[in-house]
A = this chain, B = another copy of it.
């Protein structure tokens, strides 16, 4: 898959708008997950693999290349880590954690009500 560089045509969108490039990038398997799991600190390739529940090395490497080229993550002695921009991006999506818990409660409630009624 080609890198969703803002300003260029990306998967599913022809407009070149930055938001579309970003949504393409984040819409790829495990992209959000890698971001999420990198927030807990730098990690080597194999450790990141573990954090991401044994994601296949093929996919991990593909996503890492994309995220590096787009300057969301970077490599330092400590291993892969969020770049400054990546950290800012994480701050935006951080509330998804809390939201997802409420959402899970909500869905199970509805399920249970349906079972009861």
Contact = CB atoms under 8 A, between A and B. Distances in A.
Interface string A20-62: 1111001111111100100000000000000011010000000
A82 B110 CA distance: 18
Copies in the complex: 2
Given A70-B107, A103-B6, A26 B19 contact: no
A14 to B, nearest CB: 6
Contacts of A88: 99
Nearest to A17: B100
Interface of A: 5-7, 11-15, 17-23, 26-33, 36, 52-53, 55, 70-71, 85, 88-89, 92-93, 95-97, 99-101, 103-104, 106-108, 110
28 contacts: A5-B107, A6-B100, A6-B108, A11-B29, A12-B33, A12-B52, A12-B53, A15-B53, A21-B100, A21-B104, A22-B100, A23-B33, A23-B96, A26-B26, A26-B32, A27-B28, A27-B31, A27-B32, A70-B103, A71-B103, A71-B106, A71-B107, A85-B103, A89-B99, A89-B103, A92-B92, A92-B95, A93-B93
